[in-house]
């Protein structure tokens, strides 16, 4: 690839020298780009000139015209516009691909091929190209042409069926965008694997991720258990299938806490702490399978104990006894939580467009090549002039012509 850099390029980071073209929209594939950008990749976000990525209008509006969702999730990128549907726009994109390492896309399967920009076409100009392709159902199969978003992926992939109380309807599993974020993480893993392969062989490849697959892969043992026994796991509310007590309990002062006894040793510690050491000798509580079968009984005992104690006392007792316990935090609680502060999980930034605000810090934490913050989500086409002049050597006159014709 072209090894030229600019001041926004973070020399010394793990992904310095890697150039990414992010032509995707909304969240899944772009989130992969954000992860790569956090760790030094030069990520150029390419949007349609007429309005840009719909994520700009998703979430809580900010005074600058974009949203706080955009601000956080499009950070650390450069922002260019290009109409890939036009012949000249497609030609410019191919020139950029020739000088890049990675393309991120999440159009419906076949869309880029219709524009002459599918993987097989692009690898002709860059044999080492790595392309991440995220779609609702993947690049093949009977549903490949169907549209879908994260909510559909949660339902189709089996996650929504597990979320909610046993006597209630399936509910949103925490976040309506969970499958998008998870797909972005799988995408980043795939891109890094492909980069390692290319470093050895020089050959690129494409990565095919379906939103529903991203959540289905995380559903522990439900597939092999169904295949063997025909068991269909239902909704368990705050409980889990195989162990108990492993749920949420309310304190005497009103706060909710999570307590997790994932093995017999942990349960013995909790029983002793509750002053009920004899519980471990009762057949219905003697081991994890027995407790799972009698979860209502053990949950009632733990709930009565937790409900007799104030939050501070309960947390202190569990910490001293080595029983895993944590508060069910709201975002307000998180902003006051010393652990979040000590780890720097809440990053304060001051941006010309958004002003002073707080965003989640990057994950993971690397000892030698940590993530670096460069910028929040920029304005539509903010870096057009520098991107096209630097990568392709386009002069001011040509840029004005492309703007006038709507190509950029």
Task: Point out the residues that are catalytic.
Answer: 180
The length of the chain is: 408
- H or E, element range at 79: strand 78-81
Q: Is 32 helix (H, G, I), strand (E, B) or coil?
A: helix
Write the CA distances from 129 to 22, 56, 116, 125, 202, integer angstroms: 13, 28, 16, 9, 9
Helices 396-404 + 384-392 axis angle, to 10: 120
CA gap 234, 230 in Å, rounded? 13
d(CA 345, CA 336): 12
The DSSP bridge partners found for residue 359 are: 347
> Cβ-count burial of 375 within 10 angstroms (0-12 exposed, 13-18 middle, 19+ buried)?
buried
Cα(22)–Cα(42) distance, integer angstroms? 10
- Cα 220 to the chain's mean position, in Å? 19
Task: Measure the CA–CA gap between 148 and 130, rounded to whole angstroms.
Answer: 24
Query: What is the C-alpha separation between 280 and 267, in angstroms, rounded?
Result: 8
CA 152 centroid distance within chain:
16
> Tokens 């999440």 — which residue?
106
């Amino acid at each position: 690839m072209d090894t030229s850099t600019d001041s926004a390029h973070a020399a010394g980071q793990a992904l310095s020298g890697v150039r990414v073209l992010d032509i995707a929209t909304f969240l899944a594939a772009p989130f992969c780009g954000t992860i790569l950008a956090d760790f030094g990749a030069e990520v150029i976000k390419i949007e349609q000139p007429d309005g840009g990525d719909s994520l700009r209008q998703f979430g809580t509006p900010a005074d600058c015209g974009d949203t706080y969702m955009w601000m956080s999730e499009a950070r650390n990128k450069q922002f260019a516009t290009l109409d890939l549907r036009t012949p000249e726009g497609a030609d410019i994109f191919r020139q950029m691909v020739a000088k890049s390492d990675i393309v991120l896309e999440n159009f419906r399967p076949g869309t880029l091929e219709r524009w002459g920009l599918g993987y097989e076409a692009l690898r002709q100009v860059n044999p080492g190209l790595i392309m991440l392709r995220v779609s609702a159902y993947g690049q093949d199969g009977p549903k490949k042409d169907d549209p879908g978003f994260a909510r559909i992926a949660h339902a189709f992939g089996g996650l929504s069926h597990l979320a909610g109380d046993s006597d209630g309807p399936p509910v949103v599993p925490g976040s309506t965008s969970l499958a998008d974020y998870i797909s972005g993480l799988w995408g980043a893993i795939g891109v890094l694997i492909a980069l390692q392969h290319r470093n050895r062989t020089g050959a690129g490849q494409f990565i095919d991720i379906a939103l529903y697959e991203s959540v289905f892969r995380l559903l522990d043992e439900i597939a092999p258990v169904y295949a063997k026994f025909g068991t269909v796991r239902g909704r368990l509310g705050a409980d889990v299938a195989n162990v108990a007590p492993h749920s949420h309990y309310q304190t005497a002062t009103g706060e909710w806490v999570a307590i997790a006894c994932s093995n017999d040793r942990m349960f013995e510690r909790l029983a002793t702490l509750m002053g009920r050491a004899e519980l471990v000798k009762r057949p219905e509580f003697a081991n994890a399978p027995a407790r799972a079968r009698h979860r209502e009984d053990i949950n009632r005992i733990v709930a009565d104990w937790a409900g007799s104690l104030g939050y501070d006392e309960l947390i202190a007792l569990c910490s001293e006894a080595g029983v895993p316990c944590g508060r069910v935090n709201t975002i307000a609680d998180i902003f006051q939580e010393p652990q979040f502060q000590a780890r720097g999980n809440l990053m304060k930034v001051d941006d010309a467009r958004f002003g002073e605000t707080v965003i989640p810090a990057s994950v993971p934490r690397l000892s030698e090549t940590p993530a670096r913050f460069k910028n929040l989500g920029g304005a539509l086409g903010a870096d057009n002039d520098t991107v096209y002049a630097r990568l392709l050597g386009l002069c001011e006159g040509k840029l004005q012509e492309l703007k006038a014709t709507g190509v950029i």
